[in-house]
Structure 1
Amino acid sequence: MASKVKGEKSADPNILVSHDRLYKIDQLRALNIGKYLPLPQLVTVGDQSSGKSSVLESLTAIPFPRGQELCTRYATQITHRRDDHSFIGISIIPGPQASAEHKEHVESYYRQVDDTAQLQAEFAVILDEVNTRMGIRTPNNPTGQHTFSEDVLKIEKCGPNEDYLTVIDVPGIFRTTTEGITTEKDKSMVRDMVIKYIKDPRTIILAVLPCNVDVATQEILALAEDYDKAGERTLGVLTKPDLLKERSAKASVCALVLGKRKPLNLGYYIIRNRGGDDDEDDLELAKREDMFRQEPWRDLPDERVGVGALRERLRDLLGEITDQAFPKIRTELRDMLVKTQNTLRNLGPSRKTERQQQQYLATMAGKFQELMRAALDADYSRNKAFDDGELRLITTIVNHTEWFDLTFRKSSQTYLFVKQAGLSDDGDDSQEPPALAEVDPTAFPELASVMVTNWSTAAPQDGIMSWIESIHRDSRGITLGTVTPAMLSSAFRGQSVKWEIITKQYLSLAILAVHKFIMKALEIVCNCPNVLPRLSAALLTQLLASYDKAMEQAMLLVEIETQRKPYTLNHYFNSNMQKVRGLKIKDQMKPHTERITRSGGEEVRQYIRPEKVFSVVENKSNAEYSREEIHDTLRAYYKVASKRFVDYVYYLAVDHSLLSGPDSPLLLFSENWVLGLDDRKLANIAAENHQTSDMRAKLEKKVQDLKEAIEIL
């Protein structure tokens, strides 16, 4: 609000004091919109016994009972509103911290009288009823629990000739407590209540100051300065001038009104309130204000003296701040409505009934399945959520499978096969497996029983022929052949002993990737922090069973490959055997090769004598021949079996058991799973807790209030 010279009305032609706007603001106040955002209002504040209630009575013509201080125990809001019918309505607005029970108790109170005369006659009884409802301890209500209350007494004075004016009176600040009556807690409560009202930027602060007290000692002015640093909202109201006897004291008060002492932008007004034995009528008011025609008061500007001048100025001020605030209030209401609707939307649909709970979870399951299908198809452009690498499931699985394949080729053998020119072994592959990401065993403690803890892989050893010799020596029996099936089985079991740990590592990585995806996807599709842990817990038992089944499937493949008799129909086995034997004979023949050359030294051809062939082939002991035969057979079979095994582990244990099979854990959270929940489990997972239910009710009420407010404006 722009600063004004004391007493002057705004000359700005663009500012229109609109009665229609004041009426609309009054409608917003009736809707209790003031609890959502500050509304233009007038608030009387001051120390105890400063005359605040009398100022309120003078401004509003509401005749508070004399000799009682009941109304000073809580805020009192008096609203003048135009209506076709004349009446005065009395109700209670519950405080912001009121319990649901207390709120219902005080909101149910309402009294209506026809006019101020009837109100004056019944007001004492009405205030006793109000105090009892609020739980205020008084002589007539000794069982009350409180000295002060955050509840608000609301008085509406309606009629066809009423001007729109709302004034709020709050309890007076006090510095010392009275034993048995007030406490330090009461003192803090009153101070906080005053601050709550005066801190709003659309509140005109009526600082009530008795003339017989030095304004420099009045705490309310210092408090007002804290929250109205520019001094644009504070107006001083000087009361009890009739108590001044000394000329110097009167001169000091006149200096305040004239702006010569402790000036305020809105200035000071001086009024004389009704006394305890005075009647409230125009004649009595004129008599009381006759004193302002005497020295030194008659030298003060007329627009700064008397209740009428103050009331007129306050109407102007209220109209001005209303006109200035009106566009901002509309904008703030719209912004607040959008934010509130978003907050309400984030709670998801209401989940009170079984049907609502099923629909809530089924919708969530549908979104989960969409994410899962996109993750398996590597269709990452479908959802921004895939910017998180943990959701790129199939890519992670492919990377882990590549690690498994290369690790198997590089490290799955116990012993390195003998190198032979022209023959490559998987264990000699020069390509290194990709480095494993560090696995945090504490990230998902629920997987402790499924995943391995050993992530190391020993390199293959040298000395395979010595090892095969020991197998041959310890496994010989009476047989016509040199290599028995038992020998080959023993050799293969020993050579494949690391298959189990490498396979467990691979399955652990795959299970971890699937579990991470499921947990992350649940976070995305479940927008309720209370439902998420309950849903995860409900799924966990079946998820772990699926992971166990996948690991069991992999271990079954390990057992089949390593513990059964070696066998294959793959023609590559015979092809590899023949290739090994051919290369071996070629290597053995090289020393016996003879060359025919021409006279110039040019080689014509190479040949070997037949007797040399027989000597090479026949010149071996049974033990030597058996060792080589076991080695060559083991090499050929190992190559076929390891490739077959790697493929089957992926297809059966990972793809079928974890990703795409009918029992895949990715398919667990589905609409069918939701429909299969009994009423108790469904409610345990999806039902709203009291906190969410209360929040939803408050948000729905707020949305309704804001919509009505916007419609009013």
Structure 2
Amino acid sequence: MQFNTTSLESLQSDEQRRVLDAIAQMRKCGLEDVLSIPQIVVCGDQSAGKSSVLEAITEIPFPRNDNLCTRFATEIILRRAEVESITIKVIPDITRTEKDKESIRAFQASITNFEELPKIMDKAMSVMGIDEDGHAGQAFSRDTLSVEIEGPSRPQLILVDLPGLIQNESKGVTATDIALVAEITDRYISQPRTVCLAVISATNDYANQGILSKVRNVDPQGDRTLGIITKPDRLPAGSGSESAFIGLALNHDISLGLGWHVLKNRSYEERSYSFTERKASEALFFANSNWSHLPKDCIGVESLVERLSALLFEHVKRQLPDVQADVSNKFSETQEQLKIMGKRRATPQECRDYLMQLSLDVFLVCKAAVDGHYEGDYFNRGMDQAFHASSPSDLHRLRAMVQSVNAKFTTTIRTKGHTYYFAKPGEEDSIDPSLAALQLAATTFPTKSPKVLQRSQAIAWVGRVLTQNRGRELQGNFNPLIVGELFWQQSSKWEHLAAEHVKEVAAMCSNFLHKLLLEKYPKHIYSRLWTSHIQAALETKYKAAERELKLIIEDQKSYPINYNHYYTDTMSKYRKEREGKALAQCVKAAIIRRRVADCTSDHISTTVNIDKAVKEFTRMTDPDMEKRSCEEALDCLVTIYKVSQKTFIANVTTQVIERHLLRGLEKIFSPVVVNALSDQAVTAIAAEPGAAKRQRAFLEDRIAKLEDGRRILSGLERLSL
């Protein structure tokens, strides 16, 4: 069989062939789907002569009737191989369904002669959904026709012919088709490692040819754009149009970093010319026209081939370090993505093993967080110096956060947990100096501050409660149960404050687990596990905490029982302070001061009139037994409140928070729990969904391609590029 592509053989030296061979191998193993690979793209407006340019460079006789090559991208891949062959296949677009992709990939044909190419391309168009005329099905396709040519003398090269840009709608061409062709062109030329051969026709004002604006948008300096002017023979000799295009070819008007080149393609009359005859006709035209004034390396297909040889190798050489870096980076990224997915999970045992490992990791981190052992990266990332519960990074340190809110709860109960604030016994109507601190603390918490009562107001309040609860006790005595009534009123805020505190800590535990599981588990595993197990387990712990708190509140609402010596000691202290103060006042009132007789100095003698002191003390003893009862009851309330307050805080933080919310938090989904689950349960939680299986296959396939890419590129390290 005859595969005549002799002009291509001059494209590369042996070193160039080795480099481009590596690039071709990377494309063959599918890396063009992963990263941008250096290639040459022939692009331009419809009927600009793109396919003729491609044919002249490759010397492959593409079908020229019915515009077959302009309805989809045609990828020409030339590779060196021991046996000559031509293989044609269709690469499905990424937006195709899996079913369509399988059907399209199933199409593959091999031919022994280029004369068979038109018939095979017809079949390829049918696979894409385009009929021979492009009318029965869709007019254009995002799929790519791939023509692979292999042989022992073949160079390594990739050329892509794109559908021509269409300016206006016409019969069989809709606005959707126009947009699709523009999208295909943009997709190829926007790739940073693509060399654009921007083809424009001399028969149309170049200012009106859209390809120039497109390539300048993606390549403003023209560093990877070579302009190709076709059909120069169609311009009248000496005309203004000819002069304008000659100026363009000299890079005067639209300056491109890679410059311009002029080709004369076959005319209609020359359609049967061989490639040799085509070159002769082109050479004759350039030798006998105004175009002969252009530099020889800017005209004709033979100089274009030589020019492509140099610029392609230089382009690939510049891009190669970036390609190597991309392959390495994407390999690491893809491995990390696959690692996050975990091991393959198809059987119940694989699911169980997978969950066992995940649950062990979470168990250890959760236990460390509950115990307050903050070693490891998990606890030391992005620490917020302010340290507050709303900070995601601070929430990692669960024990520290719970300790912080426990301290806040304690402060709230002590400063704002009582209904009334009143002066201490013996202070009469003066207000405790710590009231200022209390009022300052009131700005810190959302709970309403206690109402301030002076001593006399507090006694009046006790009197009203005493009157409302009087039983058969004698005048001057008070019902001992009155202390319970006073205590319940004074501690009425405790239930709400404690309930809010329990709710806050429960939410903190839930948020901690939510963040931990979301970080350690794949999202679909987290979602299943949270709804099937974690949420219910946390709800159970919260309900148990609520029940425990309810029991504590029931105890608090019962009559206060106390065996703490603090109560009796404090009551004795209050009485002694009160009596001592009264006695001091009586003694002071009974002091008699006299000047010593027959003394030359001003010496004063001081004596205490005992009788007067006793009478004064008797007078000061309040005859109002009801008031004395109120004072006694108030003293009892103040004392028992302090004792009960400490007990209540300890009970809430220990019996509710610790016992039910924190203790055993790490065991909610521990390896022990996983081991006890049924096969059905572990499969329901850990089995890979269809999307995950497809994603795993995709990542494994990508890793295999990238490994091939790394191996291929490693073979270039010995070259002095």
In structure 2, distance between residues paired with 1:604 and 1:365: 86
Question: Is the CA contact 2:283–2:300 (under 8 Å) kept in the aligned structure 1?
Answer: no
In structure 1, distance between residues paired with 2:428 and 2:669: 50
In structure 1, distance between residues paired with 2:236 and 2:630: 130
Question: Is the CA contact 1:417–1:635 (under 8 Å) kept in the aligned structure 2?
Answer: no
Question: Is the CA contact 2:420–2:490 (under 8 Å) kept in the aligned structure 1?
Answer: no
Matching residue of 1:315: 309
Secondary structure of 2:489's aligned partner: coil
Matching residue of 1:493: 485
Question: Is the CA contact 2:416–2:442 (under 8 Å) kept in the aligned structure 1?
Answer: no
Superposition deviation, residue 400 in structure 1: 3.9
Q: Residues 105 and 610 of structure 1: is their aligned pair in 2 closer, same or farther, counting only changes over 3 Å?
A: same
Q: Residues 170 and 509 of structure 1: is their aligned pair in 2 closer, same or farther, counting only changes over 3 Å?
A: same
In structure 1, distance between residues paired with 2:685 and 2:607: 88
Matching residue of 1:444: none
Deviation string 1:28-86 (CA, Å, 9 cap, x unpaired) is 22233233333222222222223222222232232223423222110111122111111
Question: Is the CA contact 1:272–1:307 (under 8 Å) kept in the aligned structure 2?
Answer: no
Deviation string 1:158-185 (CA, Å, 9 cap, x unpaired) is 1111122221111112212222x11111
Matching residue of 2:658: 655
Q: 1:52 aligns with which of 46, 50, 53?
A: 50
1:125 aligned onto 2:124? no
The one-letter amino acid paired with 2:264 is: I
Deviation string 1:323-374 (CA, Å, 9 cap, x unpaired) is 2222222123223333343444455555665555555555554454444444
Q: 1:578 aligns with which of 551, 572, 583?
A: 572
In structure 1, distance between residues paired with 2:712 and 2:557: 82
Equivalent runs, 1:155-304 vs 2, <5 Å:
155-179=147-171, 181-240=172-231, 248=239, 252=243, 255=246, 259=250, 262=253, 265-273=258-266, 281=274, 284-285=277-278, 288-289=281-282, 291-292=284-285, 295-296=288-289, 303-304=297-298
Q: What percent identity do the matched residue pairs reach?
A: 27
Deviation string 1:667-687 (CA, Å, 9 cap, x unpaired) is 535444555566676566655
Equivalent runs, 1:74-113 vs 2, <5 Å:
74-113=72-111
1:339 aligned onto 2:333? yes
In structure 1, distance between residues paired with 2:444 and 2:427: 39
1:552 aligned onto 2:547? yes
Deviation string 1:74-101 (CA, Å, 9 cap, x unpaired) is 0111122111111111111222322222
In structure 1, distance between residues paired with 2:696 and 2:444: 43
Question: Is the CA contact 1:402–1:433 (under 8 Å) kept in the aligned structure 2?
Answer: no
Question: Is the CA contact 2:236–2:242 (under 8 Å) kept in the aligned structure 1?
Answer: no
In structure 1, distance between residues paired with 2:326 and 2:89: 28
The one-letter amino acid paired with 2:380 is: K
In structure 2, distance between residues paired with 1:211 and 1:406: 87
The one-letter amino acid paired with 1:579 is: K
In structure 2, distance between residues paired with 1:648 and 1:423: 34
Q: Which runs of 5+ in 1 are unaligned?
A: 1-14, 440-453
Matching residue of 2:717: none
Question: Is the CA contact 1:58–1:274 (under 8 Å) kept in the aligned structure 2?
Answer: no
Q: Residues 550 and 704 of structure 1: is their aligned pair in 2 closer, same or farther, counting only changes over 3 Å?
A: same
Equivalent runs, 1:423-462 vs 2, <5 Å:
431-432=437-438, 435=441, 455-459=447-451, 461-462=453-454
Secondary structure of 1:81's aligned partner: strand
In structure 1, distance between residues paired with 2:564 and 2:147: 97
Matching residue of 2:705: 705
1:34 aligned onto 2:32? yes
Question: Is the CA contact 2:367–2:666 (under 8 Å) kept in the aligned structure 1?
Answer: no
Q: Residues 603 and 674 of structure 1: is their aligned pair in 2 closer, same or farther, counting only changes over 3 Å?
A: farther
The one-letter amino acid paired with 2:556 is: E
Matching residue of 2:323: 329
In structure 2, distance between residues paired with 1:52 and 1:318: 19
The one-letter amino acid paired with 1:192 is: E
Secondary structure of 2:538's aligned partner: helix
In structure 1, distance between residues paired with 2:312 and 2:420: 95
Taking structure 1 as the reference length, what is the TM-score of the superposition? 0.80
Superposition deviation, residue 414 in structure 1: 4.7
Question: Is the CA contact 1:48–1:173 (under 8 Å) kept in the aligned structure 2?
Answer: yes
547-556 or 24-33: bigger deviation: 547-556
Deviation string 1:144-167 (CA, Å, 9 cap, x unpaired) is 2x1111111111111111122221
1:153 aligned onto 2:129? no
Secondary structure of 1:167's aligned partner: strand
Secondary structure of 1:563's aligned partner: coil
The one-letter amino acid paired with 2:190 is: K
Superposition deviation, residue 105 in structure 1: 1.8
The one-letter amino acid paired with 1:652 is: Q
Deviation string 1:424-446 (CA, Å, 9 cap, x unpaired) is 9998855538858989xxxxxxx
The one-letter amino acid paired with 1:649 is: V
The one-letter amino acid paired with 1:384 is: N
In structure 2, distance between residues paired with 1:524 and 1:227: 44
Aligned residues: 672
Equivalent runs, 1:378-393 vs 2, <5 Å:
378-380=372-374, 382=376, 383-385=379-381, 387=384, 389-390=388-389, 391=395, 392-393=397-398
The one-letter amino acid paired with 1:31 is: C
Secondary structure of 1:155's aligned partner: strand
Secondary structure of 1:207's aligned partner: strand
Taking structure 2 as the reference length, what is the TM-score of the superposition? 0.79
Question: Is the CA contact 2:591–2:609 (under 8 Å) kept in the aligned structure 1?
Answer: yes
What is the Cα-based RMSD across aligned positions, in Å?
4.2
Question: Is the CA contact 2:52–2:265 (under 8 Å) kept in the aligned structure 1?
Answer: no
Secondary structure of 1:432's aligned partner: helix
In structure 2, distance between residues paired with 1:320 and 1:410: 79
Matching residue of 2:7: none
89-98 or 365-374: bigger deviation: 365-374
The one-letter amino acid paired with 1:268 is: H
Secondary structure of 1:182's aligned partner: coil
Secondary structure of 1:97's aligned partner: coil
Question: Is the CA contact 1:403–1:433 (under 8 Å) kept in the aligned structure 2?
Answer: no
645-654 or 407-416: bigger deviation: 407-416
Deviation string 1:223-258 (CA, Å, 9 cap, x unpaired) is 333333323433344444565675658964993697
Question: Is the CA contact 1:207–1:236 (under 8 Å) kept in the aligned structure 2?
Answer: yes
Q: Residues 299 and 597 of structure 1: is their aligned pair in 2 closer, same or farther, counting only changes over 3 Å?
A: closer
The one-letter amino acid paired with 2:489 is: V
304-313 or 347-356: bigger deviation: 347-356
Question: Is the CA contact 1:411–1:460 (under 8 Å) kept in the aligned structure 2?
Answer: no
246-255 or 702-711: bigger deviation: 246-255
Matching residue of 1:448: none
346-355 or 321-330: bigger deviation: 346-355
In structure 2, distance between residues paired with 1:271 and 1:570: 111
Q: Residues 304 and 630 of structure 1: is their aligned pair in 2 closer, same or farther, counting only changes over 3 Å?
A: closer
The one-letter amino acid paired with 2:145 is: L
Secondary structure of 1:495's aligned partner: helix
Deviation string 1:179-219 (CA, Å, 9 cap, x unpaired) is 2x111111121122223222334333223344544545433
Matching residue of 2:128: 134
Superposition deviation, residue 500 in structure 1: 4.1
The one-letter amino acid paired with 2:261 is: Y
Q: Residues 335 and 613 of structure 1: is their aligned pair in 2 closer, same or farther, counting only changes over 3 Å?
A: same
Question: Is the CA contact 1:270–1:306 (under 8 Å) kept in the aligned structure 2?
Answer: yes
Superposition deviation, residue 478 in structure 1: 4.7
Deviation string 1:552-577 (CA, Å, 9 cap, x unpaired) is 3233223213323x332222333233
